Structure 1
Amino acid sequence: MKKILTLIFITILCIGNAQNSAHRFFYELSYRPNKDSMRYEKETMILDIDKHQSVYQSYELTVLDSLSNDIVSKSENGTMPDFSTVQDRKPISFSHRIFKKYPIQNVLYTDVVFNDDYSYLETPSITWTISNEKRKMGNYVVQKAETAYGGRQWTAWFTTDLPFQDGPYKFYGLPGLIIQIEDTEKNYSWELKGNRKINQIKNILLLEKFNKKNSNSGMRQLSKEKFEEKYNEYKKDPFAQIRQMASQLPSDMKLPDGSSVTDGMREADKRAKEMAKRNNNSIEIPHKN
C-alpha cells in the first residue's frame, strides 16, 4: 500500500511539473537598423510560452541574466560582484520585453530608458486576412495571412501543427503559431529556427529586481504615447541624466586615461547621438502629430 501511494504521489508530481513546463521558440530577426541603408543585422529573439502566458525578448537578455545571477551567487558576502565579463559582451540591440497573458486581451510592453524601467499596456489593433495559400516551411505546413500594424503591412505564415495562437513581438490572433512574419518592405523579418522545452518562464530579470530595489518608483507604467515621448527625448539627448550627475563632480577630476571628465562626456555624448541617428528604423513607425 505504501509503495502504491508513493507511486501515485510521484505520478502526480510529474504531471504537475509537466503542466508547469514551458516551450521556448527561437526566432531569427533580420532587420535594417537604418532606413537609409540596405545593411541588415540579425538578432536571436525568443518566445517563451506556457499555459498561462508568453514572454518575448532578446535571447541575449536571458544569457546576460543567467551570467549575472551566476556572478552574484559566486561573490563572497559583503563583496561587490565583478561584472566586468558581462560588460565586455556585445551590446543588446533590443532591450524590450513583451508579455501576453492568456486569453490575450492586451500586451504589456516593458523597456529600459537610460536606467529607468517603463511599461505600457496596449490592445493592438491587429485584423488578419487569412489566405487559402499554403506551403511547407521546414517541418510545418504553413498558411498565409496578412495584416496592417504599426504603420507597416505584414505578411505572416502560421501553422496549426503547434497548439499556440501566438507569435513574435506583439503579433497574435491567428489559429496557430506564427512561423515567419515580415513587412512588405522587408525592414523586419522573424523566422522560427527551433524550439525546446524549459522549466519555467522567468518574468523578472536580475537587473529589473535591482532597479526595483534601488528605485523609489520601480517599474513606471505610462500610456503608449507618453512612453514614445520619453523614448524620443532619450534618443535626442542620451546623456542628459549622466550630464546632470557629472555636474556634481569636481571640475578638475580626471578619467583613468588622464583626460578631463568634461572631454570624456563630450566624446561619449557625440558617439551616443551618432548611434541614435544610425538606428532610426524602428519596428513601428512613430505617429506624427
Structure 2
Amino acid sequence: MKKLFTLFAVSIFFALNAQETANRFFYELTFKPKKDSAKVEKVMTILDVVKDKSIYRDYTIVAQDSILKIQIEAMQKSGVFKDISKSITMPKFSEKIYKFYPSIKVQYVDRVANGFTPMNIGYNEDLKFNWKIDAQKEKIGAYNVQKATTEYGGRKWTAWFTADIPLQDGPYKFHGLPGLIVKVSDDGNNYSWELKGNKKVENFNEIPYIETVSPGGDGGKVVEVSREKFEKTFGEFKKDPMATARPYFTTEVLSQKIPGSDLTIGQMVKQQEKMLNDFFNANDNPIEIQAAKAKK
C-alpha cells in the first residue's frame, strides 16, 4: 500500500523533434452528459503526438501529475497513509485512444478491475472515415479551416480541418483528413471538440505517475480483446466495479486498518465503490450511440 497527407509530410513535421518530445494539442470538449438534458459540461482533452503514434485522453489527471507525485512520494517516505482522493479532481472520461502511424490503426483502451489490480483492456479498430470534403472555408481562431462531414457511431459529424498542420489526426478517434482537425461536432451538439492551443512537451512520458505506482504498476500494458469482448467486460465492470475483488473481502480483511491511517480496508473499499459508481452514472449519453446499444 505504500508503494499508474502523407507519410512524407508527417516525417518532415517531426524531423526536428527528438523521440522523447511530444506535440501536445489541447481540445476543449463541450458535451451533454445526460441525453435528455440541455445541461452541458466542458473538459480539456489532449492529443499527444509522437513519431509513431498519437494518444488522446482527458487532460485532468495528466495536469495534476506533478502534484500527485509529490503527495505520493511524501506518503512513501513517511509511511503514513493520507486519503488524497479529496484533493484530486477526477476526470470526466477514463479512456485513452491510440492511433498508430502511418496506417492509422486505432486502439481504444480503458481500465477495469482484475481482483485488486487495475488492468488495461483495449480493442483495435480498422476505422476508415468516409469523409465528404466541402468547398466551404472559414477561420477558427488562428487557423484557416475547411469543412468536411461524415457519419460514425450513429451520429452525423461536421469537422473543420487545417492543411497548415500536416497531420491526418484529431480528437477522439477522428482522423483521415488532409490536415489536423481543428473542430468537430455532431449535429445534435451532444459532443463538440475545438482546438485551443498546442505546445511541445520535452522528455515526454505517456504514462502518468499515478498509474506507475498504482497496483499492477504496468501503466501502458494493454490486454487486447475483440470489441465485443471489450463491451461485455467493461459493461459488467460499470455495473459492479468491485465484483472481481469481492471474493477476497473476508470480514477479517475488511476490518484491517490501512497502515498509517484510521481508515479500515472496508471503509476504503466503500469509498472507492461510490467514487466509481458516481463516475459511471454521471454520463448516460455516449459518443457512439450504436456501440452503446450493442452493450444491451
TM-score by length of 1: 0.79
Task: Name the residue aligned to 1:149.
Answer: 152
Distance, in Å, in 2 between the alignment partners of 1:252 and 1:74 is 26
Asked whether the 8 Å contact 1:158–1:177 carries over to 2, the reply is: yes
Instruction: Give the % identical residues.
Output: 38
Q: Which residue of 1 aligns with 2:64?
A: 64
Contact 2:128 2:176 in 1 (8 A): no
1:200 Cα deviation from its structure 2 partner: 4.4
- Partner of 2:234, secondary structure, is helix
Total equivalences in the alignment: 269
Local SS of the residue matching 1:169: coil
Q: In the alignment, does 2:185 pair up with 1:182? A: yes
Cα deviation code 1:121-146 (max 9, x no counterpart) = 11123111100011111111110001
Matches within 5 A, 1:87-102: 87-102=86-101
Letter in 2 for 1:239: M
Structure 2 counterpart of 1:224, one-letter code: R
Aligned pair in 2 of structure 1 residues 84, 48: CA closer, same or farther (>3 Å)? same
Contact 1:142 1:158 in 2 (8 A): yes
TM-superposed CA distance for 1:29, in Å, is: 0.4
1:280 aligns with 2:279: no
Measured in 2, the distance between the counterparts of 1:157 and 1:83 equals 46
* Distance in 1, Cα, partners of 2:189 & 2:94: 22
Closer, same or farther: CA 213–90 of 1 in aligned 2, 3 Å? closer
Alignment root-mean-square deviation, CA:
3.4
Higher relative contact order (CA 8 A, sep 6+): 2
What amino acid maps onto 1:249 in structure 2? T
Gaps of 5+ in 2: 1-13
2:128 to 125, 128, 148: 125
What code does the residue aligned with 2:102 have?
P
CA distance in 1, matches of 2:80, 2:227: 36
**DSSP-derived class of the 1:232 partner:** helix
1:3-47 Cα deviation digits (max 9, x unpaired)? xxxxxxxxxxxx987444321111100111111211111110011
Q: Is the 1:29–1:43 contact (alpha carbons within 8 Å) kept by the matching residues of 2?
A: yes
8 Å contact kept, 2:155–2:288: yes
Closer/same/farther in 2, CA of residues 133 and 117 from structure 1, 3 Å limit: same
2:60, 2:90 within 8 Å by CA — same for their partners in 1? no
Distance 2:255 2:273 in 1: 18
Paired residues of 1:239 and 1:269 also in contact (CA < 8 A)? yes
Spell out, residue by residue over 1:155-181, the C-alpha distance to the aligned partner (whole angstroms, 9 max, x if none): 100001112111001111000010000
CA contact (8 A) 1:34 1:281 kept: yes
Tell me, yes or no, if structure 1 residue 220 matches structure 2 residue 218: no
1:47-66 CA distances to partner (integer Å, 9 max, x unpaired)? Answer: 11133221111111212333
Q: Match of 1:156, as an amino acid? A: A
Code of the residue aligned with 1:180 in structure 2: it is K
Return the alpha-carbon distance in structure 2 between the equivalents of residues 25 and 111 of structure 1. 21
1:159 to 2:131 alignment: no
| Aligned counterparts of 1:252 and 1:83: Cα–Cα separation in 2 | 18
Cα 1:26–1:81 change in 2 (3 A) is farther
Partner of residue 142 from structure 2, selected from 136, 139, 143: 139
Query: 1:11 corresponds to which residue?
Result: none
Partner of 2:251: 249
TM-score of the superposition, structure 2-length normalised?
0.77
Q: 1:157–1:178: 8 Å Cα contact kept in structure 2? A: yes
Taking a change above 3 Å as real, the CA distance of residues 97 and 135 of structure 1, as seen in their structure-2 partners, is same
Change (3 A) 1:277 1:72: closer
- Once residues 158 and 85 of structure 2 are traced to their aligned partners in structure 1, the CA distance between those partners, rounded to angstroms, is 37
Does the 8 A contact of 2:145 with 2:160 survive in 1?
yes
**Letter matched to residue 111 of structure 1:** D
**Offset at residue 258 of structure 1 (A):** 11
1:62 counterpart letter in structure 2: V
